[in-house]
Amino acid sequence: MADMPATETHCPYCSLQCGIALRPTTSAVRLAPTDFDVNRGGLCAKGWTAAELLDHPDRLLTPLVRKDHGDRASPLREASWDEALDRIVAAIRDSQRRYGRDSVGAFGGGGLTNEKAYALGKFVRVALGSASIDYNGRFCMSSAATAANRALGVDRGLPFPLADLAEARTVLLVGANPADTMPPAMQYLDAGRAAGARHLVVDPRRTATARGAYRHLQPLPGTDLALANGMLHVAIREGLIDEEYISDRTTGFPAVRAAVNAYWPQRVERITGIPEADLRETVRLLAHNGPAVILTARGAEQHSNGTDTTQAYLNLALALGLVGRPYSGYGTITGQGNGQGGREHGQKADQLPGYRRLDDPAARAHVAAVWGIDPAELPRPGRSAYEMLDRLGTADGVRVLLVLASNIAVSAPHSNRILDRLRALDLLVVSDIFRSETAALADVVLPAAQWAEEDGTMTNLEGRVIRRRRALAPPPEVRTDLAVLAELAGRLGRGRHFSADPQTVFDELRRASAGGIADYAGISYDRIDAEGGVFWPCPADDHPGTPRLFSDGFPTADGRARFVRVEHRDPAELPDAEFPYVLTTGRNMQQYQSGTQTRRVRSLTVALPEPRAELHPDLARRHGIADGDLVELRSRRGRTVARARLSVDIRPDTVFVPFHWPGANALTNPALDPHSRMPAFKACAVAIAATLCPPPAPGPPDGAENPEHSTTEGISR
């Protein structure tokens, strides 16, 4: 093969979507960063090594089916595409005949391109006629999205370009650790600090981001809402709020003012553990040392009150008059690669493309017209992610499930329950690039093209729509998800509504989103190529796109932002005598999501070969645990074993476990936020003990047919 020209595309991992150039050569695919206006030549270790995935020996290269059809204990064997698709279509038809249309469903992912997320939502509604679809972004961004929609009328993670952070004089980061999770983003925060900006980090752990900040506030997990209400209490008492902004641009402040009256600093200190002096200093900096930005991320959002917690920080930002002013405002740092676009175009249970609602008659009529169907054919909203997974295989639940770009056996909360439910399915179909823990349970596994082998668009954390470009052809028996969905739709008699061509799908997405909140009507592949990305909303070909939102108003009925009264409540599960500590989960620098990809990259696993349970030395001493010892963690839902990493950077009452390996989510609590249906990943009660039981096997499971090999065990409720 002669060396080919470089193709400019983007990293396959997080929402920063760093620009990279790929050059296939005779011996390997060479990867280098580009000067894309986000990473500006920077990459993290995950991005630098992403090309290792392309010809990885674990790559799925042909469809797999169970040797004995219907017997999940039988081994997976290679199959033709015809045999695999025949099995899927037969199971769909049988299930829908016996149990109704909603008995067949799909679970998507925030890593899918906009085209694939859109096509999956349409496939479920049009080809299956089913209400049963949701995706792993429900476990990631849903609380921030719900709160932003409630307060601002729109959910776009950052309503300004990332580079604006360099101009902010004060930045409050709540439950966010970009120094570890997206290091190239730190160039903007570093530039701000070099110019004298003050950064304050709220996190139960002294993370790399917290270590570099001016101040670290270290609350008990699950108390961020009380902290925000306490800050607003101080702002009101000290006359720091922007009365004119509140009067001119918002509604609902009196109720919030009344509510935060009860959050005096001494009470907030008792709830959160944050000293009164730090509380007051933070508010004074936000008010006096502007421009100021408040950022939240999963640490604040992944709770059973995550929507209200995010809302509390939005209330604070609005009361201080930050939102819509230059280099000021509120934002949430999106996690997954297409976490933004993936939550806009219809793979959520209650959603149609363009951020339209499935229960809105006008939205149904618009989208049905684009799709060429009767609006009455569109199903009603379905169940949210955990609620759908929790009922798999039951009489009124999904019995045939198609999973794209998601490893729910590892990433869903209360994972032992989810493993049971996955096994109860009549047919589990997984499309992936590797045999993930979820794929290992499947009846049919479809080998998917990966990031460098397909065209499409992604929408990064700023709301900038960018091109993912094909740099090389997929292996011969590997297909794109778009091609698979179009083929399945054809076999189900709905083929005329679907295309396997990404640009055709994107052009249809543009029409379907036109007039919606996330309006892509004026964005085309040609414009993205010419302009290096286009920010939505962009309603027309001659519209410049919208890098900054809210300067002229809010997309609410009256053009005003909305305060919403929110109150602190305890986490869904509190420590007690049996489970005396708080578990919080999160990420390591070297790994990404459930690790399906990064646990297969050699240099990343050398740097971090296994999960480490982070404990304060005082806590470890009480249990006779030394650094590197094995520690058993138990919650009411399960147990796991990991090596201890002793660190003074974590609170003595809190244990941290990364979620990139099986185990962490055996412990987590599926208590759901009432508004967003987000599970309480970030706070549950655990017990710890030294153990001699071996830890999980490091790295990727070798053809793991049983993810419980990792010593994760269920404990009945």
- Cα–chain-centroid distance for residue 133? 16
Give φ, ψ of 562 to 5 degrees: -115, 125
- Cβ proximity to ligand SF4, 162 vs 226, nearer residue: 162
- Please, what is the angle between helix 306-319 and helix 224-237, to 10°? 20
Residue 567: CB atoms within 10 Å: 14
* Closer CB to ligand SF4, 43 or 466, in the complex: 43
Q: Are 546 and 536 in contact (CB under 8 A)?
A: yes
Other residues' Cβ atoms within 10 Å of the Cβ of residue 620: 23
- For 438, the 3-state DSSP assignment is coil
Rounded to 5 degrees, φ, ψ at 431 are -105, 120
| Under rule CB under 6 A, residue 176 binds ligand SF4 | no
CB of 181 to ligand SF4, least distance (A): 7
User: Alpha-carbon distance 251 to 152, whole Å?
Assistant: 11
Taking the complex as a whole, how short is the minimal distance between the CB of residue 6 and ligand SF4, in angstroms? 17
Alpha helices by DSSP H, 333-472: 361-371, 385-390, 408-411, 415-423
Closest CB 433 distance from ligand SF4, rounded Å:
16
Six-digit token string for 223 = 């108390």
Collapsing DSSP to helix, strand or coil, 153 comes out as coil
11 binds ligand SF4, rule: CB under 6 A: yes
Q: Is residue 461 near ligand SF4 by the rule CB under 6 A?
A: no
Q: How far is the CB of 460 from ligand SF4 (least distance, A)?
A: 8
Integer Cα distance of 685 and 669 in angstroms = 9
- What CA–CA distance (Å, rounded) separates 202 from 336? 22
Closest separation in Å from C-beta 12 to ligand SF4: 7
The enclosing H or E element of 94 equals helix 81-99
- Helix-then-strand count for the chain, H and E: 24, 31
Total of residues contacting ligand SF4 (CB under 6 A): 13
Residue number, 44 or 619, with CB nearest to ligand SF4 = 44
Structure tokens at 328: 């000021």
Residue carrying the six token digits 């997206």: 182
Rounded CA separation 596/681 (Å): 20
Residue type, 158: L
Among 16, 53, 458, 492, binds ligand SF4 (CB under 6 A): 16
Among 79, 104, 133, 182, binds ligand SF4 (CB under 6 A): 182
Query: From the CB of 19, what's the least distance to ligand SF4, in Å?
Result: 9
14 is a site residue for ligand SF4 (CB under 6 A): yes
DSSP characters over 561-613: EE---------SS---SSS-EEEEEE--TT--TTSTTGGG-HHHHHHS-S-EE
Instruction: Report the nearest approach of ligand SF4 to the CB of residue 86 (Å).
Output: 38
Based on the shown chain and the rule CB under 6 A, indicate whether residue 467 belongs to the binding site for ligand SF4. Answer: no
Binding ligand SF4 by CB under 6 A: which of 24, 47, 331, 393? Answer: 47
**18 near ligand SF4 (CB under 6 A):** yes
Residue 454 and residue 506 in contact, taking contact as beta carbons nearer than 8 Å = no
- Told to check if 109 binds ligand SF4 by CB under 6 A, we report no
| Rounded CA separation 709/17 (Å) | 34
Which residue, 17 or 438, is less far from ligand SF4 as judged by CB?
17
Compare residues 13 and 579 and give the one whose CB is closer to ligand SF4.
Answer: 13
Q: CB of 299: closest distance to ligand SF4 in angstroms?
A: 18
User: Which range binds ligand SF4 by CB under 6 A, 37-45, 303-311, 435-443, 546-554?
Assistant: 37-45
Considering only residues 157, 175, 184, 516, which one is a binding residue for ligand SF4 as defined by CB under 6 A?
A: 184
DSSP state of 687: E
Q: Compare residues 11 and 433 and give the one whose CB is closer to ligand SF4.
A: 11
Does the footprint of ligand SF4 cover residue 39 (CB under 6 A)? yes
Q: Does 660 bind ligand SF4 (CB under 6 A)?
A: no
Residue 288 tokens read as 């006096």
Full strand arrangement of the beta sheet holding 215-217: 215-217, 198-202, 170-174, 292-296, 329-332
DSSP, residue by residue, 87-130: HHHHHHHHHHHHH-GGGEEEEE-TTS-HHHHHHHHHIIIIIS--
Q: Does 601 bind ligand SF4 (CB under 6 A)?
A: no
What is the helix (H) or strand (E) element at residue 283, kind and residue range?
A: helix 276-288
The helix/strand/coil state of 133 is: strand
Q: Classify the phi-psi angles of 252: left when phi > 0, otherwise alpha if psi is within -120 to 50, otherwise beta.
A: left
Phi (first) and psi of residue 159, to 5 degrees: -85, 20
Per CB under 6 A, does 22 bind ligand SF4? no
46 sits near ligand SF4 (criterion: CB under 6 A): yes
Shortest spacing between CB 502 and ligand SF4, in angstroms: 20
In the block, residue with structure tokens 């929408």:
459
Of 8-16, 68-76, 310-318, 706-714, the window that binds ligand SF4 (rule: CB under 6 A) is 8-16
Q: How far is the CB of 42 from ligand SF4 (least distance, A)?
A: 7
Identity of the residue, 18 or 349, whose beta carbon is nearer to ligand SF4 in the bound complex: 18
Near ligand SF4 by CB under 6 A, which window of 42-50, 297-305, 566-574, 687-695?
42-50
Q: How far apart are the first and last CA of the chain?
A: 58
Q: Would you list the DSSP string of 202-262?
A: E-SB--HHHHTSSEEE-PPTT-HHHHHHHHHHHHHHTT-S-HHHHHHHEE-HHHHHHHHTT
Give the x/- contact pattern for ligand SF4 in 364-403, rule: CB under 6 A: ----------------------------------------
Neighbouring C-beta atoms of residue 317, cutoff 10 Å: 28
17 binds ligand SF4 per the rule CB under 6 A: yes
Stretch that binds ligand SF4, among 15-23, 77-85, 368-376, 422-430 (CB under 6 A): 15-23
| Nearest residue (CB) to ligand SF4, 307 versus 593 | 593
**Among the candidate windows 7-15, 315-323, 418-426, 483-491, which touches ligand SF4 by CB under 6 A?**
7-15
Pick the closer one to ligand SF4 by CB: 46 or 479. 46
Instruction: Please report how close the Cβ of residue 45 comes to ligand SF4 at its closest, in angstroms.
Output: 8
Choose between 16 and 295: whose C-beta lies nearer to ligand SF4.
16
User: How large is the C-alpha radius of gyration of the chain?
Assistant: 24
Binding mask 123-162 for ligand SF4 (x = CB under 6 A): ----------------------------------------
Q: Residue 182 CB, nearest distance to ligand SF4 (Å)? A: 4
C-alpha 6/C-alpha 452 separation (Å) is 12
Take residue 517 and report the two structure tokens written for it.
């909140």
Cβ 17 to ligand SF4 shortest distance, Å: 5
By CB under 6 A, residue 110 contacts ligand SF4? no
Exactly one of 22, 29, 44, 566 binds ligand SF4 (CB under 6 A); that residue is 44
CB of 592 to ligand SF4, least distance (A): 6
Residue 446 or residue 589: which is nearer to ligand SF4 going by CB? 589
Q: Which of 13, 135, 188, 263 binds ligand SF4 (CB under 6 A)?
A: 13
615 is an interface residue for ligand SF4 by CB under 6 A: no
8 A C-beta contact, residue 134 and residue 398: no
Question: Which range touches ligand SF4 (CB under 6 A), out of 10-18, 367-375, 435-443, 635-643?
Answer: 10-18
Which residue, 146 or 460, has its beta carbon nearer to ligand SF4? 460
Cβ of residue 593: shortest distance to ligand SF4, in angstroms?
A: 10
- The strand ranges marked E within 361-482 are 400-404, 427-432, 444-447, 456-459, 464-468
Is 43 one of the binding residues for ligand SF4 (CB under 6 A)? Answer: yes
State the residues that interact with ligand SF4 by CB under 6 A: 11, 13-14, 16-18, 39, 43-44, 46-47, 182, 184
